[in-house]
Amino acid sequence: MSSGGYKITDQSATYFVSFAVVAWVDVFTRKEYRNIVIDSLKHCQQNKGLVIYGWCIMSNHLHLIISAKENNISDVLGDFKKFTSKKLLAAILNNPGESRKGWMIKIFKEAGELNTRNKDYQFWQQDNEPKIIFTPQFGAQKLEYIHNNPVEAGIAEKAEEYIYSSARDYYYGKHCGLIEIEFLL
């Protein structure tokens, strides 16, 4: 599932993963596209046993700290990426108000043509760079990194103010965010 030397070696472990859009295209500047990711994560939680401990959607990538109840994390991630790729590409193609449509589709088509594992388009970059959460300290470090991403990018002044992140749950209490999480720490 990975091309850069990182791969999921323990299906029962908790991982920090990141997904980036090919060419770092800023797709998630539009709410409707962020909602596709959120709905897909919720579906994976309800139907595939995905457990989310931390998450954040940025303009062109997403970070997760996750595990899978059925010890099939590679399958869940593969299904998530495949489904969201199709759904997001369709949403972009069918959005009459998408002024960047031609530019984005050209990038996704060119990336797809370079990858023999794709038929037409490639939305996500290949590598998830999975890292096992091997200690509570490492988990805390990755969670802080995820939550501070919007602050570092200048999107939010405080991590807990950014609604497309689990920081709200960690700051205000469980059930305050857009996605149901389990506390990591």
Distance CA 77, CA 144 (A): 22
| pLDDT in the model for residue 5 | 43
Q: Could you read off the pLDDT of 70-116 as tens digits, one per residue?
A: 878 999 999 999 999 999 999 999 999 999 999 999 999 999 988 77
Q: What is the pTM of this model?
A: 0.92
Distance CA 117, CA 129 (A): 19
Q: Could you read off the pLDDT of 20-46 as tens digits, one per residue?
A: 999 999 999 999 999 999 999 999 999
Q: What is the CATH number of domain 15-172?
A: 3.30.70.1290
Reported as a pLDDT band with limits 50, 70 and 90, residue 54 is very high
Mean model confidence pLDDT for the chain: 92
